[in-house]
Structure 1
Amino acid sequence: MQYAFKTDVGQARPHNEDNGGVFVRDNMVLAIVADGMGGHQAGDVASCMTKTILEEKWQQTEEITIPTVAEDWIIDKVHIVNDQLFQHSQENKECQGMGTTVVAAICTNQFITIAHIGDSRGYLLNNNGFVQITEDHSLVNELVRKGQITDEEAENHPRKNVLLRALGTEQQITVDVKTIDWDPGNYLLLCSDGLSNKLIDEEINDILLSEKSIDEKVNEFITIANERGGEDNITVAVVHYTSADEEARCMK
């Protein structure tokens, strides 16, 4: 597997409240994107704690070979993160009300297990095309789902940033988890809304399929989002399940 991660403050925000990374253990990859929220720099704290805790737990785990184990692992660890975030916000006045989105994926040679809370997204590119594999936990997405507004109206809705679920804001959370098979040649992309609000699916698909290196692709995502305003922090993680031919080309 090849992978790349980048986060950027964007063009308008004074600091970066996004965090995440891609971490490897025993031929497995854990990819994380977290988009923090809260007063002052509490969003920074929430997203950084999320990345740090998940990374620490990941480095302590043994090889995961079946989806049920992956799903149990990621649900358990996200709940641990939530407990620690909520406790930290209660004990530190400057962090009261802090929270974060999270989208995290365990990638093995057989499957992807992805978990998320909030509106940071996961996408999969395979032989059937490019598709979003997470469902935004947002007010506008709920309105779209109920048929009260259209997708087009959702794009410019005044309450577009209102989340129905976040990590760290409440003691009890519900984590959406699913496992998907994938094959050599497929791509997994995780991102904050600083990217998904700026590029349409077709553009992301075309960049992933380009001949550029995986690092160049991630850099292009960030560049385009910034060129189109960069009003938010921008974070993207890409994992490419490389085929034997692709591995050979990369070795040249």
Structure 2
Amino acid sequence: MEYDTILDIGKRKRQSNGINEDSLGATTLATGHRDDEREAALFVVADGAGGHQDGDVASYIASNTVLEELSGFLATAERRRPEATAVAMQASITDDAPDGTEIREQLTAAIETAHADILEYASEAKAEPMTTIVVALVYDGFVHFAWVGDSRAYLINSAHDQISLLTRDHSTVEGMRQDGEVDDVEAEVHPDGNQITRALGGNQYDDPQMRPVDVDTGSVPLYQEDKILVTSDGLIDGWTDAPNYHSVLTNATGDEYEEVKEEILEKSVTDDEIRDTVLAADTLEAANEELVTIANERGGKDNISIIIADPGIGGNSPDPLPPRGIDEEETKVSDEETVIMGGEDDADDDAAAESNAGSADATDSPAGEQDGDDADATAEAADGESESGGVGERLGNKVRERLSGDDS
């Protein structure tokens, strides 16, 4: 299994002597017996909230905690499937290999532990560290993933020249888009594009038992021609002048609207451009370097962190390729520098249907599995007095002050 990682501070922060508040981590596990070799892997990207104190600490804690929590599980998971190498052992020793449900539960638990660790730091440091996170775990022919915030995971399939977005941003504008309040193009330049509705961490007064974090998860099968890409929003959020185009777009009509729309799409870092860049590159390293160059040429508003992996597992891609993305037909570009907003999000959308499927070995379900969240939890996030959603009222004024996108 090949993979490449890249971290870049981004053009804007480089010019203003800012810091890189992103963190990433990757680990692979290779095992072999007789003539069989197997690989599993874990990839993590965390994006510290730039409008908040110690976002870099939050992302560091998140990425390292998740790696620590899941690396041992990955090794145990491999031991629990000796039948894959024709080894006969007692069930009491090997147990059953973990299915999709168990793996997604482990992803959630690891992220919840990271959330608690960040809040412990916040209490000791009297700080307000927050971060997004996206995790991808490759095991037994599937990629299992989990996320909080607007960091993303993609699949890019070379056999069909297709990119599939696996995650849906926990953001104000994405919620508006799901509700039909803005279309795809307006979402790309909306002035509230830097507001996210979920994050790990909080302030010194938050108790992880009283303010849990909501984690979304999913599982989809992998094919030989697939590449996995996980990234912070700095890749998609490259275009510096995007919010300035919002009023131009919304006031335009007829041919003028089409011209403005075309210009927005040309200046944005779209999913299709990400796909084309990865597929055209000779190596994963070259693809990462070109993606960072593109984001910085558009303005480089935020830190950029990307992992691209070529698992090289699974069978050949079927024709047609089954839908695996959370919203296959959509291309989204979002977010100015990240700030936190409380409020309803899109976690309950029908496209992220809750999965009760038990087994990641069920390759006869190629569309994969998606887990959503409880609508009551997202409703509470809009209530500043609720135990799980106090971040909304507490940060409302700060958010309004930071909409200009200034660095912290």
Q: TM-score, normalised by structure 1?
A: 0.90
Most deviating of 104-113 and 167-176: 167-176
8 Å contact from structure 1 (residues 8, 222) kept in 2: yes
Most deviating of 227-236 and 21-30: 21-30
Distance 1:193 1:38, change over 3 A: closer
1:111 paired residue number: 142
**Distance of 1:77 and 1:184 partners within structure 2:** 28
8 Å contact from structure 1 (residues 28, 108) kept in 2: yes
8 Å contact from structure 2 (residues 48, 132) kept in 1: yes
Deviation at 1:159, TM superposition (A): 1.1
1:59 paired residue number: 71
1:242 counterpart (309, 312, 322): 312
Any unmatched runs of 5+ in structure 1?
245-252
1:29 paired residue number: 41
- CA deviation profile, 1:146-185 (whole Å, cap 9, x unmatched): 0111111111111111111111126311100000001112
Q: 1:27-106 to 2 correspondence within 5 Å?
A: 27-37=39-49, 42-61=54-73, 62-64=75-77, 65=97, 66-93=99-126, 95-96=127-128, 98-106=129-137
Distance 1:40 1:174, change over 3 A: closer
Deviation at 1:6, TM superposition (A): 0.8
Deviation at 1:197, TM superposition (A): 2.3
Please say if 1:151 is aligned against 2:184: yes
- CA deviation profile, 1:59-98 (whole Å, cap 9, x unmatched): 32234353223212111111101111112112212x22x2
2:294 alignment partner AA: I
**Distance of 1:59 and 1:175 partners within structure 2:** 19
Larger fraction in strand: 1
Please say if 1:134 is aligned against 2:167: yes
Please say if 1:173 is aligned against 2:213: yes
2:25 alignment partner AA: G
Distance 1:41 1:173, change over 3 A: closer
Please say if 1:188 is aligned against 2:188: no
**Distance of 1:39 and 1:48 partners within structure 2:** 16
8 Å contact from structure 2 (residues 44, 133) kept in 1: yes
Please say if 1:12 is aligned against 2:12: yes
Please say if 1:122 is aligned against 2:153: yes
1:162 counterpart (170, 177, 195): 195
Q: Which structure has the higher relative contact order (CA within 8 Å, separation 6+)?
A: 1
If you compute each CA radius of gyration, which structure gives the higher value, 1 or 2? 2
Deviation at 1:40, TM superposition (A): 6.7
8 Å contact from structure 2 (residues 170, 196) kept in 1: yes
Deviation at 1:210, TM superposition (A): 1.8
Deviation at 1:109, TM superposition (A): 4.1
Q: Percent identity?
A: 33
Distance 1:40 1:71, change over 3 A: closer
8 Å contact from structure 1 (residues 118, 136) kept in 2: yes
2:148 alignment partner AA: I
Deviation at 1:25, TM superposition (A): 2.4
**Distance of 1:41 and 1:91 partners within structure 2:** 14
2:302 paired residue number: 232
**Distance of 1:109 and 1:143 partners within structure 2:** 37
Secondary structure of 1:131's match? strand
Secondary structure of 2:104's match? helix
Deviant stretches of 4+, over 4 Å: 38-41
Deviation at 1:212, TM superposition (A): 1.0
Distance 1:88 1:118, change over 3 A: same
Any unmatched runs of 5+ in structure 2?
31-38, 78-96, 239-268, 315-408
**Distance of 1:220 and 1:208 partners within structure 2:** 9
2:273 paired residue number: 203
8 Å contact from structure 2 (residues 177, 187) kept in 1: yes
Secondary structure of 1:114's match? strand
Deviation at 1:58, TM superposition (A): 2.9
- CA deviation profile, 1:7-43 (whole Å, cap 9, x unmatched): 1101112100011122112421111111001567501
